[in-house]
Structure 1
Amino acid sequence: MYTVFSVFAATSDPAAFKPFLCVPARPDRAYFPDGVELSYGHIARQVFALRDRYRASGFGHGHRACLLLENRPDFIVHWLALNSLGVSIVPINPAYRAAEIEYLIAHAEPDLIVTLHDQRELQKALTGAVPVLEVYGDDLGASATHIPLAKRPPPRAGEPGSETEAALLYTSGTTARPKGCILTNEYVISTGRWYIGRGGEATYHTGAERLYSPLPLFHMAGLTLTPIAMMLTGGCLILPERFNAKFAWRDIVACRATVLHYLGVIVAALLAQPETPDEKAHALRFSMGVGANPEQRARARDRFGIPFVEGWGMTETGRSPFNTVEPRHLETNTIGRSEPGLEMVILDGDDNPLPPGSVGELCVRHSEVTPRRGFFSGYLKDPDATEQAWRGGWFHTGDSAWQHEDGAFVFVDRLKHLVRRAGENISAAEVEAVLTTSGLVKQAAVVAARDPIRDEEVAAFIVTDDGAAASRELAQDIFQFCRERLAAFKLPAWIAFVTELPLTSTNKIQKHVLLGADRDPLSHPGMIDLRQEKTNAIRQSN
Structure 2
Amino acid sequence: MTSTTVFASFADAAARHGARPFLHILPETAACYGIEAQTISYEEAFGKVKRLAQIYAAAGYGHGHRAGLMLENRPAFFLHWLALNALGVSVVPINTDMRAAELNYLIGHSEICLAVTLRERAAELQAAAAAAGRALVIIGAEAPDLIEPAPFAAPLAGVPDTGTECALLYTSGTTGRPKGCVLTNDYFLLAGAWYNGIGGLCTLKAGEERLITPLPMVHMNAMAYSTMAMIYAGGCIIPLDRFHPRSWWDSVRSSGATVMHYLGVMPAMLMGAAADARDRQHSVRFGFGAGVDKLHHASFEQRFGVPLIEAWAMSETGAGAVIIANREPRHIGTACFGKPEPALEIRLVDDAGEEAASAQPGELWVRASGADPRRGFFKEYLKDPQASAEAWEGGWFRTGDIVMRDLDGYLHFIDRKKNVIRRSGENIAAVEVESVLRQHPAVQSVAVAATPDPVRGDEVMALVVLHDQQADPAATATSITAYCLTQLAYYKAPGYVAFVDQLPLTTSQKIQRGVIKEWAQQLPGTARCIDTRAMKKRQA
Please indicate, yes or no, whether the TM-score normalized by the shorter chain is above 0.5.
yes
Instruction: Name the CA shift for 1:410/1:303 in 2 (closer, same or farther; >3 Å).
Output: same
Unaligned runs of 5+ in 1: none
| Aligned 1:340-379 pairs, distance under 5 A | 340-367=342-369, 369-379=371-381
Instruction: Name the CA shift for 1:520/1:328 in 2 (closer, same or farther; >3 Å).
Output: farther
Q: How much has 1:468 moved relative to structure 2?
A: 4.2
| Aligned 1:102-501 pairs, distance under 5 A | 102-119=104-121, 120-127=123-130, 129-136=134-141, 141=142, 143-319=143-319, 320-367=322-369, 369-469=371-471, 471-501=473-503
Q: How much has 1:534 moved relative to structure 2?
A: 1.5
User: What is the distance in 1 between the residues matched to 2:528 and 2:519?
Assistant: 18
Percent identity (aligned): 43
| Aligned 1:21-60 pairs, distance under 5 A | 21-26=23-28, 28-33=31-36, 35-60=37-62
User: What is the distance in 2 between the residues matched to 1:4 and 1:462?
Assistant: 47
Confirm or deny: 8 A CA contact 1:115 1:132 kept in the other structure.
Answer: no
Confirm or deny: 8 A CA contact 1:337 1:344 kept in the other structure.
Answer: no
User: What is the distance in 2 between the residues matched to 1:298 and 1:520?
Assistant: 30
Deviations 1:269-312 (Å, cap 9, x if unpaired)? 21122334443211111101011122221121011111001111
Q: How much has 1:503 moved relative to structure 2?
A: 2.6
User: What is the distance in 1 between the residues matched to 2:497 and 2:111?
Assistant: 36
- 50-59 vs 274-283, greater mean Cα deviation: 274-283
3-state secondary structure, aligned to 2:399 = strand
3-state secondary structure, aligned to 2:17 = coil
User: What is the distance in 2 between the residues matched to 1:57 and 1:504?
Assistant: 55
Code of the aligned partner of 1:437? Q
Instruction: Name the CA shift for 1:484/1:325 in 2 (closer, same or farther; >3 Å).
Output: same
3-state secondary structure, aligned to 1:484 = helix
Q: How much has 1:532 moved relative to structure 2?
A: 0.8
User: What is the distance in 2 between the residues matched to 1:403 and 1:121?
Assistant: 48
Q: CA RMSD in A?
A: 1.8
Q: How much has 1:207 moved relative to structure 2?
A: 1.2
Q: How much has 1:178 moved relative to structure 2?
A: 0.5
Q: How much has 1:431 moved relative to structure 2?
A: 0.4
Q: How much has 1:525 moved relative to structure 2?
A: 5.1
Deviations 1:110-142 (Å, cap 9, x if unpaired)? 121111112053243132843324225xxxx4x
- 524-533 vs 313-322, greater mean Cα deviation: 524-533
User: What is the distance in 1 between the residues matched to 2:467 and 2:191?
Assistant: 48
Instruction: Name the CA shift for 1:518/1:134 in 2 (closer, same or farther; >3 Å).
Output: closer
Instruction: Name the CA shift for 1:477/1:428 in 2 (closer, same or farther; >3 Å).
Output: same
Confirm or deny: 8 A CA contact 2:434 2:446 kept in the other structure.
Answer: yes
User: What is the distance in 2 between the residues matched to 1:148 and 1:401?
Assistant: 50
Q: How much has 1:449 moved relative to structure 2?
A: 1.1
Q: How much has 1:371 moved relative to structure 2?
A: 1.4
3-state secondary structure, aligned to 1:448 = strand
Deviations 1:466-505 (Å, cap 9, x if unpaired)? 4343511111111122122111111100011001112334
How many residues end up aligned between the 2 structures? 532
Code of the aligned partner of 1:300? F
3-state secondary structure, aligned to 1:400 = strand
Code of the aligned partner of 1:504? T
User: What is the distance in 2 between the residues matched to 1:520 and 1:408?
Assistant: 33
Unaligned runs of 5+ in 2: none
Confirm or deny: 8 A CA contact 2:111 2:134 kept in the other structure.
Answer: no
User: What is the distance in 2 between the residues matched to 1:278 and 1:315?
Assistant: 36
User: What is the distance in 1 between the residues matched to 2:92 and 2:115?
Assistant: 9
User: What is the distance in 2 between the residues matched to 1:151 and 1:124?
Assistant: 17
Deviations 1:167-217 (Å, cap 9, x if unpaired)? 000011102110000000001111222233332222211111100011100
- 346-355 vs 313-322, greater mean Cα deviation: 346-355
Code of the aligned partner of 1:331? G
Q: How much has 1:520 moved relative to structure 2?
A: 5.9
User: What is the distance in 2 between the residues matched to 1:158 and 1:177?
Assistant: 33
Confirm or deny: 8 A CA contact 1:11 1:234 kept in the other structure.
Answer: yes
User: What is the distance in 1 between the residues matched to 2:192 and 2:519?
Assistant: 37
Code of the aligned partner of 1:3? T
User: What is the distance in 1 between the residues matched to 2:196 and 2:347?
Assistant: 23
Code of the aligned partner of 1:130? A
Code of the aligned partner of 1:321? I
Confirm or deny: 8 A CA contact 1:446 1:459 kept in the other structure.
Answer: yes
Instruction: Name the CA shift for 1:174/1:265 in 2 (closer, same or farther; >3 Å).
Output: same
- 173-182 vs 146-155, greater mean Cα deviation: 146-155
- 43-52 vs 523-532, greater mean Cα deviation: 523-532
Confirm or deny: 8 A CA contact 2:323 2:341 kept in the other structure.
Answer: no
Deviations 1:437-462 (Å, cap 9, x if unpaired)? 22211111111111111111101111
Aligned to 1:82: 84
Q: How much has 1:23 moved relative to structure 2?
A: 0.8
User: What is the distance in 1 between the residues matched to 2:442 and 2:481?
Assistant: 11
Deviations 1:229-256 (Å, cap 9, x if unpaired)? 0000000000111111122111111110
Q: 1:526 aligns with which of 520, 525, 528?
A: 528
Q: How much has 1:414 moved relative to structure 2?
A: 0.6
Q: How much has 1:368 moved relative to structure 2?
A: 5.8
Deviations 1:306-363 (Å, cap 9, x if unpaired)? 1001111210011221112444322311112122322222112354322211111111
- 43-52 vs 146-155, greater mean Cα deviation: 146-155
Q: 2:102 aligns with which of 100, 103, 106?
A: 100
